Amino acid sequence: MFRNSKYKTKMRRKRHSLLSYFAQNLLVVVGLVFIWRGIWYVLDGIDLWFFNNEHIYTAVGGIVVGLLILYLPDKDLKEIQKL
């Protein structure tokens, strides 16, 4: 009987820990989505303000900036190979 009680307590802690883990990760994902959404709207505003809503300029600029961000830290583009 004592052994069964220990097992139940252990399983409750494990279940609570697993639920807490998923809740924390879900909150991180939601936070990242909100940040990305805000950045997206700011960049759309810059596109409208500076380039009169011509998406081609900001698209090409975004590709160039993205490649530079991947290239500059270690002077190669190995990160792209992972795709």
Domain ranges of the chain: 1-52, 54-83
Q: What is the pLDDT of residue 43?
A: 85
- Convert the pLDDT of each residue in 26-61 to its tens digit: 999 999 999 999 998 998 898 889 888 888 888 898
Q: What is the pLDDT of residue 81?
A: 77
Q: What is the pLDDT of residue 83?
A: 65
Angstrom distance (rounded) from CA 59 to CA 71 = 18
Report residue 20 as tokens.
Answer: 């807490």
Distance between terminal CA atoms of the chain? Answer: 54
Element at 46 (helix H, strand E): helix 2-51
Q: What is the pLDDT of residue 64?
A: 93
Q: What is the pLDDT of residue 3?
A: 61
User: What is the CA angle 62-29-68, rounded to 5?
Assistant: 20
